[in-house]
């Protein structure tokens, strides 16, 4: 077994996910470390990232410095990846336990997401990754500087999220590589944060704090049916930003569903995380393959549903595959599920889709809901079935009253322990990828088939 790559993964001003070398990221997704990972020593990967460039336009707005810095740190932490040993290519799909947990084979008999666009507001997406080729639309870059396509600190976290949402595999019969929840959906990349290892991260934090709010509006105006936010700010100084909140409400009014990772602060005080806590957002918490809440998953009043977030196989621009964890991943799984619902029932409103996910979630907590897993594990099959009995409603925004700044996590002794959450699931759910545990496979560039990692 060869060592994991040591190059750093997606570092972002938001999630500071690192690539194959394991570095903690500030986003809620897997942070991977680059070729200098924690595995047995070995040569750095020879594959390079794609050369496709994203739009160089930078955000015109200049957000608060405090929010920018906090968002970046949080994202990096959730994206930290710890590379592990390599394995054979044909084992990648077998390790995607979340696909079985969500019963995707049954779902795909109805729809695979064709006609739906999911905006991934993140560190960028590698458009020509073999598992995403043809599914990625022209990108919008609201940062305008930092790593570029081909650099190790380019689009690692965003590519991982895009793969979970709309990966289609590759090779004969698309049997190799990562398969996403909605393999026929389109990905609209909007770069609003930088990877942790990006040398321009500090500059982005102080000059591009408004990129997230601008990106949400831009995505809603450019055809996004779903917006995935596998990022967040759950620092001690985290607070709601009016511009971000207004942008979310703007998107909801236009019929765009907004999904965000609940946060990776479950073992750090369960601080409220934004944008997950904004009204109308579907906030995803993370569970493991047994349906048990992941220890890192934030417990808060805004938790909507849970999804796989532990031991998640993710694609990387280096054409290797890693296992990661975090609520970032959970958010991406929920966004993929929403894409399938939108494809089959395009006229349903964001509020209706959110209610569908809540009402059809399985393995619900005692009492129907708790701060750890929301209403339970998403069940896209049940949601699609229930959606067929709904009539579209007029669009309306969602606003919280005093509960918007509600209580903290469930108190000890409330009876909601791990045993209560565990269910007969083939896999659990997670919101953001916080860490990558191992490098699994690498696809040799310019060759057919798969090659063992270095």
State residue 97 phi and psi, 5-degree precision: -60, -30
Furthest-apart CA atoms within the chain: distance in Å: 58
Q: What is the Cα–Cα distance from 46 to 221, expressed in whole angstroms?
A: 39
Burial class (CB in 10 A: 0-12, 13-18, 19+), 139: buried
Active site residue 328: yes
Judge whether 157 counts as a catalytic residue: yes
Could you say which of 17, 328, 331, 372 is catalytic?
328
Half-sphere exposure for 178 (CA within 13 Å, toward CB): 33
Please, where are the H alpha helices in 348-448? 350-360, 380-387, 418-421
Question: What are the distances in angstroms from CA 338 to CA 77, 182, 239, 258, 433?
Answer: 26, 9, 27, 10, 19
Tokens of 56: 């160089």
Given the residues 11, 122, 261, 416, the one annotated as active site? 122
> Rounded to whole angstroms, how far apart are CA atoms 206 and 71?
11
Q: Which of 157, 168, 170, 319 is catalytic?
A: 157
Neighbours of 355 (CB within 10 A): 16
Structure tokens at 399: 């606003």
Contact 397, 41 (CB under 8 A): no
Q: Are 11 and 197 in contact (CB under 8 A)?
A: yes
| Residue recorded with tokens 């975090």 | 326
Residue 196 backbone class (left: φ over 0; alpha: ψ -120 to 50; beta: rest): alpha
Instruction: Find, among 39, 107, 175, 137, the residue nearest to 338 by Cα.
Output: 107
Helices marked H in 79-222 = 97-101, 104-107, 156-166, 201-207, 211-221
Q: Is 122 a catalytic residue?
A: yes
Q: With the CA atoms of 291, 292, 298 and 301 taken in that order, what torsion angle do they form, in degrees rounded to the nearest 10?
A: 70
Q: Which residues are catalytic?
A: 122, 157, 328
């Amino acid at each position: 077994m060869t060592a994991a790559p040591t190059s750093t993964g997606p570092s972002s001003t938001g999630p500071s996910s690192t690539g194959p070398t394991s570095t903690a990221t500030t986003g809620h997704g897997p942070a991977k470390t680059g070729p200098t990972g924690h595995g047995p020593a070995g040569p750095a990967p020879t594959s390079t990232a794609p050369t496709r460039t994203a739009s160089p336009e930078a955000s015109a707005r200049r957000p608060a410095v405090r929010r920018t810095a906090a968002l970046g740190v949080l994202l990096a932490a959730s994206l930290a990846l710890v590379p592990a040993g390599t394995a054979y290519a044909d084992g990648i799909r077998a390790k995607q336990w979340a696909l079985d947990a969500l019963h995707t084979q049954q779902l795909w008999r109805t729809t695979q997401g064709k006609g739906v666009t999911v905006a991934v507001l993140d560190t960028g997406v590698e458009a020509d990754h073999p598992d995403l080729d043809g599914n990625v639309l022209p990108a919008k870059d609201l940062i305008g500087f930092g790593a570029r396509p081909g650099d190790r600190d380019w689009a690692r976290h965003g590519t991982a999220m895009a793969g979970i949402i709309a990966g289609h595999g590759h090779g004969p019969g698309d049997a190799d590589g990562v398969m996403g929840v909605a393999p026929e959906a389109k990905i609209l990349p909007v770069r609003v944060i930088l990877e942790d290892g990006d040398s321009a991260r500090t500059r982005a934090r102080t000059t591009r704090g408004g990129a997230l709010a601008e990106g949400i509006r831009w995505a809603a105006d450019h055809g996004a049916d779903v917006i995935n936010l596998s990022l967040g700010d759950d620092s001690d100084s985290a607070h709601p930003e009016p511009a971000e909140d207004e942008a979310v409400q703007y998107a909801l009014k236009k019929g765009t569903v907004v999904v965000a990772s609940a946060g990776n602060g479950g073992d750090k005080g369960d601080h409220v995380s934004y944008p997950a806590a904004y009204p109308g957002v579907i906030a995803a918490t993370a569970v493991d393959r047994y349906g048990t809440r992941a220890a890192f998953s934030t417990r808060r009043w805004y938790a909507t549903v849970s999804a796989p977030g532990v031991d998640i196989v993710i694609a990387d621009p280096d054409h290797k595959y890693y296992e990661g964890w975090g609520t970032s991943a959970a958010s991406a799984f929920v966004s993929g599920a929403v894409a399938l619902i939108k494809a089959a029932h395009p006229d349903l409103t964001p509020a209706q889709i959110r209610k569908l996910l809540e009402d059809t979630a399985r393995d619900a907590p005692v009492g129907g809901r708790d701060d750890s897993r929301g209403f339970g594990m998403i069940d896209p099959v049940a949601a699609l079935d229930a959606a067929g009995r709904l009539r579209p409603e007029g669009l309306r925004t969602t606003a919280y009253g005093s509960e918007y700044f509600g209580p903290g996590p469930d108190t000890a002794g409330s009876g909601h322990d791990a045993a209560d959450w565990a269910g007969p699931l083939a896999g659990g759910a997670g919101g953001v990828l916080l860490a990558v545990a191992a490098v699994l496979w690498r696809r040799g560039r310019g060759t057919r088939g798969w090659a063992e990692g270095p």
